[in-house]
Amino acid sequence: MTVGGAVAGPAAIDLAALGVGDAADLEGRLGAARLVCFPTDTVYGVGGALTPAVAGALVAAKGRDPGKPLQVVFASLAALEAGVALAPELRSACRRLLPGPVTLLLPYPAGWVFPPPGTAGEVGGRPAVATLGVRVPAWPPAARVLAGLKRPLIASSANPSGATPAASLHEVEASLLARCDLVLDAGAVSGLASTVVDLSLYAEAGHWRLVRRGAWGAAEIGARLAAAREEAPRP
Closest listed residue to residue 46, CA positions, set 219, 145, 169: 169
- What burial letters (b/e) apply to 128-144, b meaning 16+ CB within 10 Å? ebbbbbbbbbebbebbb
How would DSSP label each residue in 75-110? SSHHHHHHHS---HHHHHHHHHH-SSSEEEEEEPPT
CB 105 within 8 A of CB 90: no
Measure the CA–CA gap between 84 and 75, rounded to whole angstroms. Answer: 13
Output the pLDDT for position 229: 80
All residue ranges of the chain with pLDDT < 50 are 1-8, 234-235
Output the pLDDT for position 235: 45
Output the pLDDT for position 9: 54
Question: Whole-number mean pLDDT of the chain?
Answer: 91
Measure the CA–CA gap between 133 and 118, rounded to whole angstroms. Answer: 8
CATH number of 8-230: 3.90.870.10
- Domain ranges for the chain, please list them: 8-230
Helix residue spans in 34-183 (DSSP H): 52-62, 77-83, 88-97, 174-177
Output the pLDDT for position 122: 66
Q: How far from chain centre, in Å, is Cα 110?
A: 20
Output the pLDDT for position 8: 46
- β-pairing, 129-135 vs 71-73, is parallel
- β-pairing, 153-157 vs 71-73, is antiparallel
pTM (predicted TM-score): 0.92
Three-state SS for 199? Answer: coil
Degrees to nearest 5, angle at CA 95 with 90 and 100: 115
